Chain A
Amino acid sequence: MFGLDKKDTTMLLVVAIMALFAPFILNPFPADSAMAQFNAGYPDLMQRFVIFGIFAIGFNILFGLTGYLSFGHAAFLGVGSYSAVWMFKLLSMNVIPAILLSVVMAGLFALLIGFVSLRRSGIYFSILTLAFAQMSFNLAYSVLTPITNGETGLQLTLNDPRVLGVSQTADGSIPVTSLFGLEMRSTYEMHLGPWLFQFNAGYYLSALIMLASFYLAIRIFRSPFGMMLRAVKSNQQRMNYTGLNTRPYTLAAFVISGMYAGLAGGLMASMDPLAGAERMQWTASGEVVLMTILGGAGTLIGPVVGAGFIKYFENIFSKINDNVLHQWFAFMPDGLEDAMVFIVHPFIGKGWHLTLGILFMLVVIFLPGGLVEGGQKIAAWVRKKRNKGSDDTTTKTEPAE
């Protein structure tokens, strides 16, 4: 289907189904139970999952295929966001032109940075991209304040000169971003017993775009172009000796992944029309590297998994506070309860970085291939068990068909 082989089609379908039913999958606990703390099925976080998924997929096209480790990809995300917000300010609140402009601007920006940075490889390339990204960050933070509004971030105001559309709505507020009238923030809430599921227009738009990006990534991975990029990764010198110029290939990969980042930035601004300079900071660039490595660099699904993992920690673990802990351990005797809270305390709330760091270390040490490798190992283990089970059918219960 779609020019993919059977395995890739299955993977695409699985991702599509996961994306479609995410509001159910991410909200497994009833809304008023103690475990509701771990529910992630609210619009903002679901949007972040898929948007950072796009960002990581794009990054993986460069890092996973060519092995060029860019430490400045957040710059493209930022450029995308700023372009999108300016489009909202000047042209219209429709998200399509905003997203298009953000992709184009990020592409141009990537062409410029890539052209310079790709003259070097290895650590020098990483440092060059990092330098460019920090430069962009500082420009956005203070020098280009009229364009970026500095630290406060670029926001919509009540007197934006919008060419298509109104500066403010009839009741005197700022119009919201929409897709031909479908408001990005509109959410349909479904109450099912004690459960609450939220279906958000913005999320589904992002998810559709993520699926399209994922499909494109598969095609790139399986194409002769993708093969060429892999060859660059395995031995660039040998390629050069055979008379091939690899520069155009790496530059193309760099620009494509930059455009993916711009797309993610544009989508972020479409969901929430604000662009801040800290989106371009080196920590943001580092985050996408972490996502890709955590999920599994060079695999198709890995970066998406990694992105989801990190965003989940950032948004869910950082919100657990001591009060919540006391509720959890309330069943214990007083002294023990306090002791438990004391032990767990450093790992939640503002300590979420610590938890994530420990997990990252464990993954890198025990699963060098990322979470995807973990999944494969479990799958292999289950298969082995099942094969053994078919030999002597007495002990193991078969999973239901």
Chain B
Amino acid sequence: MSNSNVTRRGVLKTGTMVGAGVALPTIFTASSAAAYTNEPTGSSVTLGFNVPQTGPYADEGADELRAYELAVEHLNGGGDGGMMNTFSSKALQGNGILGKKVEFVTGDTQTKSDAARASAKSMIEKDGAVMITGGSSSGVAIAVQGLCQEAGVIFMAGLTHSNDTTGKDKKANGFRHFFNGYMSGAALAPVLKNLYGTDRNAYHLTADYTWGWTQEESIAAATEALGWNTVNKVRTPLAATDFSSYIAPVLNSGADVLVLNHYGGNMVNSLTNAVQFGLREKIVNGKQFEIVVPLYSRLMAKGAGENVKGIHGSTNWHWSLQDEASKAFVKSFGTKYGFPPSQAAHTVYCQTLLYADAAERAGTFNPCGIVEALEGYEFDGLGNGKTLYRAEDHQCFKDVLVVRGKENPTSEFDLLEVVEVTPAAQVTYAADHPMFAGGQLGTCNSGS
């Protein structure tokens, strides 16, 4: 501490040297001021799989993760190739995407918008993910879609059924393969009319968030068009686990149909409560009391067990479909995991393949190139028949399945049977339909 000869020249000299030293490495890498967010420069490309591993939709999340891993395996040329062999586009070679090996990172959305965004952000900022996909809740999907738009990466929505995802909250960087509330209503209405007639009183129990609201609106509109009367619409908290206090008032409301706008664990509990209260044995207004679950999945049917028998709903895809693509997918999923995939698994597998294919066709990972490749893209061979990715709202239009809980299941997976395949034309709506109005797609953001 005795010889601290600080001179002006000395300070300047050291200052310059330190400055140059810090700047030096950045000079060489100046070209890595990438053309777009997270441009993959190495021999691999990273995708971010953001799914609920905890919370009410954890079952769906776990199944989604399995499908993602399968898709990555197939893209990298492993396994039997699954639906890559039946897909109408033959751009994918099984050598990764654009020759780059596909790697992935996973995260837990906790079925909370905040946690989902934090997880997606870390994938983008830390792991260099060029595409984020997943989610089993529309609230989460919308929050993450907004984030991806800001950050300049592509968002391939997983299981999200709210009209808002491609309606008022649609974003140019976001794409949805899954169907939505409106489509469920349009597909279910004719079936319900045949089964239950045109003079019915419906009572809605609805999960209190964006998906529940838009599905309730869609189903109510579709059934009212048949001549049904909507008695009441009651909102239930997403975190609720006991619905008895919501079921009891249904008994005295004069309603003869109960519509459960619930999904996942919610639906399992509310349906079980409803059956315990003896709703299904009741005769109201001289008619048999009926329960409808507009959005159905095999995982839910499994959770609700006996109670789903004879109950109608709609679904995006079911493993018992007999087209080549579905069979191929069920086979490779079943070989790897030992049980058939759920609709959540199917939709995320398709989304991963569609993204990879779009990148391959566009010849780039640039989000704007991907958007261009996917907009107005028609494809087949992914288990839903002919499908269109509409340019106006980035929603897929394809056939919708109406299903019923099977009376005599032959195995623990054989719980639903397909009642009707509603053709895509019947569930298609105008891009400016009032239920989807209020938002703008904006323009693609590549983050440059």
Residues of A at the B interface (CB closer than 8 Å) are 32, 39, 42-45, 48, 141-142, 150-153, 155-159, 168, 171-174, 176, 185, 187, 189-193, 198, 272, 274, 276, 278-279, 314-315, 318-319, 321, 323, 349-350
A319 touching B122 in the complex, CB below 8 Å, given contacts A173-B149, A191-B26, A272-B117: yes
CB-CB < 8 A to A155: which residues of B?
A: 142-143, 146, 169
- The residue that A44 contacts in the complex, of B28, B121, B172, B210, with Cβ under 8 A, is B121
Within the complex, what minimum Cβ distance (angstroms) separates A331 from chain B? 20
Residues of B at the A interface (CB closer than 8 Å) are 22, 25-26, 28-29, 32, 42, 53-54, 58, 104-108, 112-115, 117-119, 121-122, 125-126, 138-139, 142-143, 146-147, 149-151, 164, 169, 172, 208-210, 235, 237-238, 439-440, 442-443, 445
In angstroms, Cα B439 to Cα A176, docked, is 18
A191 touching B29 in the complex, CB below 8 Å, given contacts A42-B122, A171-B443, A350-B53: yes
Q: CB distance B122 to A44 under 8 Å?
A: yes
Q: CB distance B26 to A153 under 8 Å?
A: no
Within the complex, what minimum Cβ distance (angstroms) separates B159 from chain A? 16
CB-CB < 8 A to A321: which residues of B?
A: 106
Within the complex, what minimum Cβ distance (angstroms) separates A63 from chain B? 24
In angstroms, Cα B139 to Cα A141, docked, is 12
Within the complex, what minimum Cβ distance (angstroms) separates A283 from chain B? 10
In angstroms, Cα B106 to Cα A191, docked, is 25
Q: CB distance A349 to B112 under 8 Å?
A: no
A276 touching B105 in the complex, CB below 8 Å, given contacts A176-B150, A185-B150: no
Q: CB distance B125 to A42 under 8 Å?
A: yes
Q: Across the A-B interface, give the 3 residue pairs with the lowest CB-CB distance, nearest first.
A: A151-B209, A42-B126, A350-B53
Q: 10 A–B contact pairs at CB < 8 A?
A: A45-B126, A142-B235, A150-B208, A150-B210, A152-B138, A189-B32, A274-B114, A278-B114, A319-B108, A319-B119
Within the complex, what minimum Cβ distance (angstroms) separates B171 from chain A? 9
Q: CB distance B146 to A274 under 8 Å?
A: yes
CB-CB < 8 A to B113: which residues of A?
A: 151-153, 274, 276, 278
Chain A minimum-CB-distance residue to B213: A150
Chain A minimum-CB-distance residue to B53: A350
CB-CB < 8 A to B235: which residues of A?
A: 142
Output the residue of A32, A39, A192, A279 with the most chain B CB within 10 A. A192
CB-CB < 8 A to A315: which residues of B?
A: 118-119, 122
- The residue that B114 contacts in the complex, of A185, A187, A279, with Cβ under 8 A, is A279
- The residue that A158 contacts in the complex, of B107, B108, B440, with Cβ under 8 A, is B440
Chain A minimum-CB-distance residue to B116: A276
Other A-B pairs beyond A172-B443, A319-B119, 10, CB < 8 Å: A42-B125, A43-B125, A150-B209, A172-B172, A173-B150, A190-B26, A276-B113, A276-B143, A319-B105, A319-B106
CB-CB < 8 A to B54: which residues of A?
A: 350
Chain A minimum-CB-distance residue to B69: A323
CB-CB < 8 A to A272: which residues of B?
A: 117, 121, 147
- The residue that B208 contacts in the complex, of A142, A158, A168, A349, with Cβ under 8 A, is A142
In angstroms, Cα B105 to Cα A323, docked, is 9
Q: CB distance A152 to B139 under 8 Å?
A: yes
Q: CB distance B25 to A191 under 8 Å?
A: yes
CB-CB < 8 A to B115: which residues of A?
A: 278
CB-CB < 8 A to A172: which residues of B?
A: 172, 440, 442-443
CB-CB < 8 A to A174: which residues of B?
A: 149-150, 442
In angstroms, Cα B114 to Cα A318, docked, is 15
CB-CB < 8 A to A157: which residues of B?
A: 169, 439
In angstroms, Cα B126 to Cα A153, docked, is 25
In angstroms, Cα B440 to Cα A278, docked, is 27
Chain A minimum-CB-distance residue to B26: A190
CB-CB < 8 A to A43: which residues of B?
A: 125
In angstroms, Cα B147 to Cα A274, docked, is 9
CB-CB < 8 A to B172: which residues of A?
A: 172
- The residue that B139 contacts in the complex, of A48, A153, A323, with Cβ under 8 A, is A153
Q: CB distance A151 to B210 under 8 Å?
A: yes
A319 touching B107 in the complex, CB below 8 Å, given contacts A44-B122, A150-B208, A153-B139: yes
A276 touching B210 in the complex, CB below 8 Å, given contacts A142-B237, A168-B442, A191-B29: no
- The residue that A152 contacts in the complex, of B26, B104, B149, B210, with Cβ under 8 A, is B210
A278 touching B107 in the complex, CB below 8 Å, given contacts A43-B125, A173-B149: no
Q: CB distance A193 to B25 under 8 Å?
A: yes
Q: CB distance B112 to A276 under 8 Å?
A: yes
Within the complex, what minimum Cβ distance (angstroms) separates A319 from chain B? 6
Within the complex, what minimum Cβ distance (angstroms) separates A199 from chain B? 11
Q: CB distance A151 to B238 under 8 Å?
A: yes
Within the complex, what minimum Cβ distance (angstroms) separates B104 from chain A? 8
- The residue that A159 contacts in the complex, of B104, B118, B121, B440, with Cβ under 8 A, is B440
In angstroms, Cα B139 to Cα A152, docked, is 4
Q: CB distance A274 to B117 under 8 Å?
A: yes
- The residue that A274 contacts in the complex, of B143, B208, B442, with Cβ under 8 A, is B143
A192 touching B25 in the complex, CB below 8 Å, given contacts A42-B122, A48-B118: yes
In angstroms, Cα B3 to Cα A335, docked, is 63
Within the complex, what minimum Cβ distance (angstroms) separates A372 from chain B? 27
CB-CB < 8 A to B139: which residues of A?
A: 151-153
Within the complex, what minimum Cβ distance (angstroms) separates A268 from chain B? 9
A173 touching B442 in the complex, CB below 8 Å, given contacts A152-B210, A191-B25, A321-B106: yes
A151 touching B208 in the complex, CB below 8 Å, given contacts A43-B125, A319-B106: yes
- The residue that B112 contacts in the complex, of A150, A189, A190, A278, with Cβ under 8 A, is A278
